[in-house]
A and B are shown apart, each in its own frame.
Chain A
Amino acid sequence: MILSSHDRRLLLGPLNKNNAILVQILGICSALAVTAKMEPALVMGISVTAVTALSSVILSLLRDAIPTRVRIIVQLVVVSALVIIIDQLLKAFAYDVSKQLSVFVGLIITNCIIMGRIEAFALANKPWPSLLDGIGNGLGYAFILLIVAFFRELLGSGTLFGLPVIPGACYRWGYANNGLMILPPMALILVGIVIWIHRARNKDLIEP
């Protein structure tokens, strides 16, 4: 293993016991909005990972130069600049996906995970651990989005990544796609179920 155990914890912790969505309940809004289908959820996960990783590194490099009083504004400027660049790149090179995600790319700026990790970690740590922390948290977010999107797309539309997976015979026997799955409330309920399972497996996370 190239990474030390400390680095590994930074990178992999957010995928389990430090997951931003499951444990800190951050970034819920977009987790509800883009999870009706797998493909937008995947691209959203990748985009958020890129933004958390890059913004953490940039702000960690600048951490000794940023005046404390304007640090939130500085964070916002850096994060928004990165989001705009990602949006422009998607429009030029991945036009179809950028259309699917539409406004939600711009809304990455408001994702609490990004600002949360910068405030809590990047401003107090060196660039390398900040990069790992950013990637880890981005992946943790992407992971939950994909779990939720998997069940919503499978049960709501009968497809995965747009490809039909439920055999036509099932529909002839009376199976029907559950329209409720693609509505926003089911995203919230699914996130709740995932949190429930996660807490049940990690008893130490249960608040007294």
Chain B
Amino acid sequence: MNKEGNQYTFLFSIALVVVVSVLLTVVSTGLQPRQNANVENEKRQNILRSVKIEVSREASGEMFDQYITRRLVVNARGEEIPGDAFAIDPGKEMKKAPGDRRLPLFIARVNGETKYILPVRGTGLWGPLWGYISLNEDKNTIFGAVFDHKGETPGLGAEITREEFRSRFDGKTLFEGDRLVAVRVEKGGKASGPHEVDAISGGTITSKGVEAMLLNTLSCYEPFLKKQP
């Protein structure tokens, strides 16, 4: 067959694409369980990290069951509804109309104190941001914060995952009087007061994304947070 003819070119292309797609399917399905386990364990790790418990990814399953005493799902009015909080993807819920959202949250018992852990979801410079905010029993003071991202620039926006940035949120409060203001992320080292933290140099858009993420997601939980236990 003529190597430069149309027939050969088509046959070659088809054969190549079939071989490559079969190969990729095998690799992808073969590695899927491992990848999913990594993602789920990382989620447990992040939830625990928000209440300042550092565990390895391998040990996260066991430690998670030990510290997280309750998982619950609430609706936009702050009422508990049935559902598995761990399986709910907050990113998908945020796309729904506010009334239809199922809002997951976790209650942890750490050193004899109750902590509320709320997932947050938002957008950075290149893609989604997410994280967990843990609140003290007053449902107002931040006990710890954890952030993660899909594709922020390493060394710049990606620094939001670092302890040094996350710890800036400790002790900040969400409510100003009766109003939920969350925490603003301010540029240029001028942050002060209980509702402001310093942004990251070179990562302004990501920092502002964190700010918007906190306000948007936490305001969904406002009825729950205002409810007295």
The residues of A with any CB-CB pair to B shorter than 8 Å are: 33-34, 36-37, 40, 65-70, 73-74, 77-78, 81, 84-85, 88-89, 91-93, 95, 100-104, 152, 156-157, 179, 182-183
Is there contact, CB below 8 Å, between B202 and A65?
Answer: no
Residues of B at under 8 Å CB distance from A? 3-4, 8-9, 12-13, 16-17, 20, 23-24, 27-28, 31, 34-35, 38, 42, 57, 126, 149-156, 158, 201-202
Pairwise interchain contact A84-B17, C-beta atoms closer than 8 A:
no
Whether the pair A70, B4 counts as a contact (CB closer than 8 A) is no
Contact indicator B35/A92 (Cβ below 8 Å): yes
Given the known interface contacts A67-B8, A89-B31, A95-B38, the answer about A81 and B151 at a Cβ–Cβ threshold of 8 Å is no
Q: Are A36 and B13 in contact (CB under 8 A)?
A: no
Complex Cα distance, B4 from A159, in Å, reads 55
Chain B contacts of A37 at CB under 8 A? Answer: 154-155
The answer on a CB contact under 8 Å between A91 and B16 is: no
Chain A nearest CB from B16 CB (Å) reads 6
The prevalent SS among residues of B at the interface is: helix
Contact of B155 among A66, A77, A182 (CB under 8 A): A182
Known A-B contacts A67-B12, A88-B35, A103-B126; the reply to A95 vs B155 at CB < 8 A is no
- A103 vs B158: C-alpha distance in the bound complex, in angstroms? 12
Known: A67-B4, A73-B13, A81-B23. A91 touches B150 (CB 8 A): no
Contact of B154 with A34 in the complex, beta carbons under 8 Å: yes
| Majority secondary structure, A binding face | helix
Contact of A88 among B3, B13, B31, B158 (CB under 8 A): B31
Bound-state CA distance A95–B43 (Å) is: 13
How far, in whole Å, are A24 and B149 apart by their CA atoms in the complex? 34
Interfacial chain A residues near B28, Cβ < 8 Å: 88
Quick check: B20 and A70 within 8 Å, CB to CB? Answer: no
Given A77-B16, A77-B20, A93-B34: A183 touches B156 (CB 8 Å cut-off): yes
Closest to B201 in A: A179
A120 to B136, CA, bound (A): 63
Give 13 new A-B contacts, CB below 8 A, not counting A67-B4, A84-B27, A92-B38.
Answer: A36-B155, A67-B3, A70-B9, A84-B24, A88-B27, A88-B28, A89-B31, A93-B34, A95-B57, A100-B154, A102-B150, A102-B151, A183-B202
16 A-B pairs whose Cβ atoms sit less than 8 Å apart in the complex = A67-B9, A69-B9, A70-B9, A70-B13, A74-B12, A74-B13, A81-B24, A88-B31, A92-B34, A95-B35, A95-B38, A100-B158, A102-B149, A103-B126, A156-B155, A183-B202
